[in-house]
Amino acid sequence: MLQIQAIRAQEDAIITALKKRQIDAAPIVSKILEADQLRRATQTALDENLARANKLAKEIGGLFKSGKAAEAQVLKEESATLKEASKTLQATLSEVSETLQDLLYTLPNVPHESVAAGKSEEDNEEIFRAGDIPTLHKDALPHWELAKKYDLIDFELGVKIAGAGFPVYKGKGAKLQRALIAYFLDKNTAAGYTEIQPPLVVNEASGYGTGQLPDKEGQMYYMPEDKLYLIPTAEVPVTNIFRDVVLSESDFPVKYTAYTPCFRREAGSYGAHVRGLNRLHQFDKVEIVQVSHPEASYEALDGMVHHVKEILQELEIPYRILRLCGGDLGFTAALTFDFELFSTAQDRWLEISSVSNFETFQANRLKLRFKDAAGKSVLAHTLNGSALALPRVLAGILENCQTPEGIKIPKILQPYTGFDMIS
């Protein structure tokens, strides 16, 4: 959520920047400013009213004490009138505040200056590429065929137990998953991230805190009995650790990492491009989260990008980095770098990590602040990224490392798997 003060002060700059997302924010912004105007006027009127009522109450008390009941009675009547007026003003204030809040929720984050205007993923800018795309033998298979051939993942069994999109990992497939998780966590903690095991469900307040609610309501699994949402990413519980928190400057940088399963309903996405591990309802992910001083957040973002690069280099996977254009940028992000690995057998790029700076957009909803040197409360910046999402990394390894003899496990993972070959 953008800060109302910022919208007041930089109306034009914000509208201009949001054009990069292919949206015309001008009508919403003017509605916001209108609501803001009304809200402030109403509050001023209400405050004056209440101040008068408070004063009266004190006078009435004094009169009663000194036995002047008749005079008190007169003031009581005025007090009753004030009360009626206050009620009306209070109702207006609540209503306009809610309207304002709802309007603010509809406005996405302002893209960073480096973000290019653009309509869709077509317009994303590739800024880095590394690793050699292997030449596979002629009978090379996509990962879903390999998973079947070596009995690593059973998609049908998952359908029987839960439904489509809930695969069952078996044997070396399960072990490889566990190896990846352990390896990622070890890498992240070695880089200074503190490991967290958060709840896999969150309440409504947490959903709002990171921006999944209200706009992505239908994409999360919900348990109405207990009013809990299954997390779509560890970002939600981990970032919400900092909801309503005031840090001190010495706490920066805050660096957390968490492995969690992630649950996404992903309603409406079917077809060949979601085959196998490409898109699931439940998948594993190791997330990194940072809370940063506003002046250091882009440095922190670079650090996260560098960190993910290092992991991919160690895994010896061909990948590229994209800077998302305005049209493809997530609602809450100011700047996002997507990592994609090349799936040789599918001949396409697969997104495996998304590293973003949210600046104060999440912090504003979360009320995540810190005390600056002058003792003032200032919103912090939040960042997060995947390091990494499992299924597509697994798919990439299976496909890119396949040989006629079997699948060669990347060296870095062998201590974790305990085997160097799946055959």
Partner RNA sequence: AGAGAGGUGGCCGAGCGGUCGAAGGCGCACGCCUGGAAAGCGUGUAUACACCAAAAGUGUAUCGAGGGUUCGAAUCCCUUCCUCUCUGCCA
**What is the smallest separation between the CB atom of 37 and RNA, expressed in angstroms?**
8
User: Which residue stretch of 44-52, 309-317, 351-359, 406-414 sits at the interface with RNA (rule: CB under 7 A)?
Assistant: 44-52
Is residue 177 within 8 A of residue 413, CB to CB? The reply is no
Q: Which pair of tokens denotes residue 178? A: 């566990």
From the list 23, 28, 50, 196, which residue makes contact with RNA (rule: CB under 7 A)?
A: 50
Q: Does 51 bind RNA (CB under 7 A)?
A: yes
From the list 28, 38, 56, 296, which residue makes contact with RNA (rule: CB under 7 A)?
A: 56
Residue 60 vs 231, nearer CB to RNA: 60
Helix (H) or strand (E) holding 369: strand 369-371
Residue 76 vs 320, nearer CB to RNA: 76
Is residue 311 within 8 A of residue 184, CB to CB? The reply is yes
Strand pairing class (254-263; 194-196):
parallel
Within residues 63-102, the interface with RNA by CB under 7 A covers 64, 76, 79-80, 83
* Residue 124 identity: N
Residue 346 vs 362, nearer CB to RNA: 362
How many CB atoms are located within 10 Å of the residue 178 CB?
14
Q: Does 377 bind RNA (CB under 7 A)?
A: yes
In whole angstroms, give the CA distance from residue 388 to residue 185: 9
**What is the smallest separation between the CB atom of 3 and RNA, expressed in angstroms?**
8
Contacts of 152 (CB under 8 A, 6+ apart): 146, 169, 170, 171, 172, 173, 176, 398, 422
**What is the smallest separation between the CB atom of 47 and RNA, expressed in angstroms?**
4
Residue 79 vs 99, nearer CB to RNA: 79
From the list 26, 33, 38, 43, which residue makes contact with RNA (rule: CB under 7 A)?
A: 43
Is residue 49 within 8 A of residue 93, CB to CB? The reply is no
From the list 9, 16, 40, 128, which residue makes contact with RNA (rule: CB under 7 A)?
A: 40
Is residue 346 within 8 A of residue 368, CB to CB? The reply is no
User: Which residue stretch of 35-43, 179-187, 301-309, 325-333 sits at the interface with RNA (rule: CB under 7 A)?
Assistant: 35-43
Task: Give the x-and-dash track for 331-370 against RNA (CB under 7 A).
Answer: --------------------------------------x-
User: Which residue stretch of 36-44, 156-164, 340-348, 390-398 sits at the interface with RNA (rule: CB under 7 A)?
Assistant: 36-44
Is residue 344 within 8 A of residue 134, CB to CB? The reply is yes
Residue 39 vs 392, nearer CB to RNA: 39
**What is the smallest separation between the CB atom of 13 and RNA, expressed in angstroms?**
19
# residues contacting RNA (CB under 7 A): 25
Q: What angle do CA 275, 281, 283 make, to 5 degrees?
A: 90
CA-wise closest residue to 382 among 358, 405, 400 = 358
Mapping DSSP to helix (H, G, I), strand (E, B) and coil, where does residue 417 land? helix
Q: Which pair of tokens denotes residue 12? A: 């034009």
Q: What is each CA distance from 236 to 301, 333, 383, 391, in whole angstroms?
A: 19, 14, 12, 20
Q: Does 54 bind RNA (CB under 7 A)?
A: yes
Residue 40 vs 119, nearer CB to RNA: 40
Task: Return residues touching RNA (CB under 7 A).
Answer: 40-41, 43-44, 46-48, 50-51, 53-58, 60-61, 64, 76, 79-80, 83, 369, 375, 377
